[in-house]
Structure 1
Amino acid sequence: MSVLFRAATAILITLVNAAPLQAESLEVRVGYVQWHPDQGPVLSNVLPEPEDAGLKGAELAIQDNNASGKFLGQTYTLQSTRANSEEEAITAFETMLGKGIELFVINAPAQTLETITSRAKETTLFFNAGARDDKLRTDECNLNLLHTMPSYAMLTDALAQWLNQRRWDEVFLIGGPTDADKGWADAFRRSAKRFGLKIVEDKLWTFDADLRRTASKELPLFTQASNYDAVVVADVRGDFGEYVPFNTWLPRPVVGTQGMSPVAWHRVVESWGAAQLQSRFRKLASRDMNSEDYAAWAAIRSIGTAVTGINNPSPAEIRSFLYSDRFQLAAFKGRKLNYRDWNGQLRQPVPLVHPRGLVARAPFEGFLHPNSDMDTLGFDKPESNCRING
C-alpha cells in the first residue's frame, strides 16, 4: 500500500468522523379550520371577499417553514378545512384532534372559536386568526389561545391616534346594524374617549335602500351636522359604507371600515421586505394578501420560529417559547413582534390604508407607554381581566 494511498485514506476517515450527524427528522403537523356564516346579499357588493381568505396565508406559511426547516430536518404539514357550517367546522376539528394534531389555526367567529377550544385537550394550542372581538382579550380568556388577528380595539386605537395627531378631534360616527358593526363602533367609542376625540353625532344606519341609486340623496341628509372634522364609518361587511365618501353633508374625509381604514395587512404594504412577501403570496394565490391571510401566516410562522428555536413540536414547549424573551417574529412590519403575556395578543403595528396607498402606520410618536409603544394599541394589561400566565 503506497504512502499516498494511506494518507488519502486517513484524510477521508478524518472527514467522515468530523462530518455532522444528519439532523433527526421532526414532523410538525398543523390543523387549519375556517368557517364564517353566510352574511346574505351585501347591498353594495363592490368588493367581495375571497372565499379562501386565511387559508392561502396558512399555505404560504407552511411553504416558508419548510424552506428553512429542511436544513434542520423539520417537515411541516397542513391539514385544512373550509367548512360550510359551524357543525362541520367543529366536526373537522374533532377529526383532526383524533388524528393527533395539537396545533391549530382557527379562522372563525368568536362563538365558534370558543366552542372549538372547549372541546380540546389540555395540551392543544390554538391561534385565533379570524375573530377580532375584544371580549376574547379582556374577559373570556383561554390559557392555550393566542391571537394573531388584531382586536377591534387595536384597530380603532390606531385610527384614533391618527385623528388625534391630525387634530381632527370632532367626528361623526355612523354604525351599521350587524354584531360586527356594533363591535367595531363600541371599540371606536372607547378609543375616542381614550385619545380625546369628541363624537358630535352617533347615528345607526338602519336603511335597506339600494345606495347605488340613491346615495347622493340619502347620505348628505343623513350626515347633516353643524360641524365635524371627519366621518367615521363602522360597516364591516360593506352594506353602505362604500358610498359614504364624497356623499357627506360637509366635505370631510371618511375613515373607519371604509375610506381610510386600519387593517392587519393590505396589498399596499411594501416596506421592510413586505414586497417580497406580497409577491410570493400572489404567485401562490393569484390574488392579493389580506388581513385574514396575514393573521394565518403569522400564526404558522410563529410555530415555525418556535420549533426552530427549541427543535421540539410539543405544544407546551412551543407555548412556553412564544411567551419567552427569546421569541421574536420577523413579520415584515418594521418591528420584531411578540405576544402579550396577559392575553396572548400578538403585538403589531397597524397600517392605515386607503384602497391604493399606505397613509401611515400606528402607533405614532408621542403616544407613550412604560413598556412598549405597541401596547398603546388595544387593551393594556390594567384594562384586561386576562392573566393567562399568572
Structure 2
Amino acid sequence: MAEPVDVPIAYLELQVERPPVLTNLDPIPKDLGRMGAALGLADNATTGGFMGHEYSLAETVVPAGGDWLDAARAVLAESRILVVNAPAEAILALADLPEAQGALIFNASAEDEALREADCRANLLHTMPSYAMRADALMQFLVSRRWTDLVMITGQRDPDRAFAQALRDSATKFGARIRAEKEWDMSSDMRRNIGQEFPLFTQDFPSHHVMLAADETNDFAPYLEFHAWEPRPVAGSAGARPDAWSDRVEAYGAAQLQLRFKRLADRPMGAVDYAAWAAVRSVGEAVTRTGTADPADLRDYILGDEFELAAFKGAAITYRDWNGQMRQPIPIATRTALVAMAPMPGFLHQVSTLDTMGRDRPETECTAFD
C-alpha cells in the first residue's frame, strides 16, 4: 500500500485596482483564479484518494494596498507550494523572500516576459503563457492565412504596451508587417462617441489585412469591429484573441472540463482559472509519480523529461527547463467560436513545436535554471 502523503497547497492572490469597465454585461469575476485552483484540487483528490495522498488548499486574498509580503510570509509558514495570482512585481518580491527559498511557486496570472527572462527565479514556474507566446500564436495564424499586412492600435497602460511590443517582435519573427500604428487616447468616452470617433481615427491607415488591438483592459478594443474605416478583421486583445484558455474550446475532452467548472463556479472558465487549475494539477501529477510532497523533488520532476500533464488542449503539457514556463497550445478564439489552436501546422521545431511560441532556449536571458 502506498505511503500516505499530505500535500498542502496555498492559493495566494493580490487584488488590484481595476479601471472602470465599459459595460456591466462583461463583469470581471471576483473569484477569477480561485475557482480554477479549487477545480484542480478536486481533480487531484480523485486520484489521490486511491493512493493515500491528502490534498488541501488554503486561500489567502490580500486586498489592494494590503501588506503583501507580510501575508506571503504567513502563507509560506504553512505551505511550501504556492499558486499565485498577482502582478509581476508582487510575484517577484514574493519569490525573493528568504522564506520562499526552496519553495515551489506557480505564477498563474502575470504575462510579463521579464519574469521568464532576466528576472526569472529558480523557485518560480509559470502556467500562464507570456505575452510573447500569445503574440506568436496569433502571428502564426495570420501568416498561415497569408494575412501579413497589419495595422495596430495600442492602449496607454503598461499591459497594452507590453502586448504591443510582443506583437511587433512576433511580426518580425514570422515575416508579417505592421504597416502603421496609432495610440488610442483613453480620455474618450467610447460608449458615446464610438460611431463618430473610430471611423475618423482609422481613416488614414494604409491598406491592410487585419487590424491588431493591444488593449489588455478592454478600454476600446471590443468596439473596433464594424466601426473602423475599412471592414477588416480585428485580432489581438479583441476579435480573434489568443489566450491561455477560452470557453469556446470543446475538443480534446475540454467540453467535460468546461462543464465541471461551470457546475463549480456558475460561470465560464477564464484564462487565470485555467492557469491556476494547471498549476494545482501539475502538483498532483508530480505527487502521484514521485510519492512525495517535497517542493524540491516536485520541481525537479516537473522540469524533467518524464513529466506530462493531460490538459485538454490536444498535446501533452510539459515545462521548459530553462525558465520554468509551461509549454502549451494557445487557443485563438472569438467570443462565439474557436478560430485555431496554435502552434499552426508548418511551424516546425527541432524539439517541440510548442517551443515555436515564446522565447526559445538559445534566446533566453534566464540563468537561474542553469
Aligned twin of 1:316: 296
Give the drift of 1:121.
3.2
One of 352, 377, 383 as aligned partner of 2:332: 352
Matches within 5 A, 1:1-390: 21=1, 23-44=2-23, 46-85=25-64, 87-99=66-78, 101-119=79-97, 120-224=99-203, 225-390=205-370
Of residues 153-162 and 210-219 in structure 1, the stretch that sits farther from structure 2 once superposed is 210-219
Structure 2 CA distance for partners of 1:36 and 1:183, relative to 1, 3 Å: farther
Mapped partners of 2:239, 2:228: distance in 1: 12
Counterpart of 2:298, as a letter, is I
Return the letter of the residue paired with 2:314: G
Aligned-partner SS, 1:329? coil
Does the 8 Å contact 2:156/2:186 carry over to 1?
no
Partner-residue secondary structure (3-state), 2:66: helix
User: Aligned partners of 2:65 and 2:360: how far apart in 1?
Assistant: 32
CA distance in 2, matches of 1:70, 1:384: 40
- TM-superposed CA distance for 1:97, in Å, is 1.4
Would the aligned equivalents of 1:82 and 1:89 in 2 still touch at CA under 8 Å? no
- SS in structure 2 opposite 1:336? coil
Indicate if the aligned counterparts of 1:132 and 1:152 stay in contact, CA closer than 8 A.
yes
Using the size of structure 2 for normalisation, the TM-score is: 0.97
User: Shift of the alpha carbon at 1:139?
Assistant: 1.0
Q: Deviations over 1:297-338 (max 9, x none)?
A: 000100000000010000000011011111001101111110
In 2, Cα distance between the equivalents of 1:26 and 1:184? 42
Partners of 2:257 and 2:210 in 1: CA distance: 33
Give the letter for the 1:135 counterpart. Answer: A
CA distance in 1, matches of 2:125, 2:75: 19
Q: In the aligned structure 1, how far is the partner of 2:161 from the partner of 2:21? A: 17
Larger Rg: 1
Conserved? CA contact 1:32–1:78, under 8 Å: yes
- Cα distance in structure 2, aligned partners of 1:57 and 1:385: 31
In structure 2, the CA distance between the partners of 1:46 and 1:134, relative to structure 1 (3 Å rule), is farther
The verdict on how the C-alpha distance between 1:138 and 1:171 changes in structure 2, with shifts beyond 3 A counting, is same
Deviation at 1:122, TM superposition (A): 2.0
Cα gap change, 1:105 to 1:207, in 2 (>3 Å) = closer
Partner Cα distance (1:176, 1:98) in 2: 40
CA deviations 1:73-96 (Å, max 9, x no partner) are 001000111221253433222112
Could you give the per-residue CA deviations for residues 20-72 of structure 1, whole angstroms, max 9, x where no partner exists?
A: x4x33211001111123112313455522101110000000011101110100
Q: 2:279 corresponds to which letter in structure 1?
A: A
Alpha-carbon deviations, 1:168-222, whole Å to 9, x = none?
1111100000001011101101001111111111111114222112111101111
Which has the higher mean CA deviation after the structures are superposed, 199-208 or 166-175?
199-208
Q: Contact 1:129/1:147 (CA < 8 Å) preserved in 2?
A: yes
Counterpart of 1:17 in structure 2 is none
CA deviations on 1:275-294 (whole Å, 9 max, x unpaired) are 11111101110111010000
User: Distance between the aligned counterparts of 2:90 and 2:206, measured in 1?
Assistant: 43
Tell me the distance in 1 between the aligned counterparts of 2:234 and 2:28. Answer: 21
> What TM-score comes out, normalization by structure 1 length?
0.92
Question: How many residues matched?
Answer: 368
Q: Which runs of 5+ in 2 are unaligned?
A: none
SS at 2:10 equivalent: strand
2-structure distance, mates of 1:207, 1:239: 7
- Contact 2:180–2:206 (CA under 8 A) maintained in structure 1: no
Contact 2:155–2:186 (8 Å) recurs in 1: no
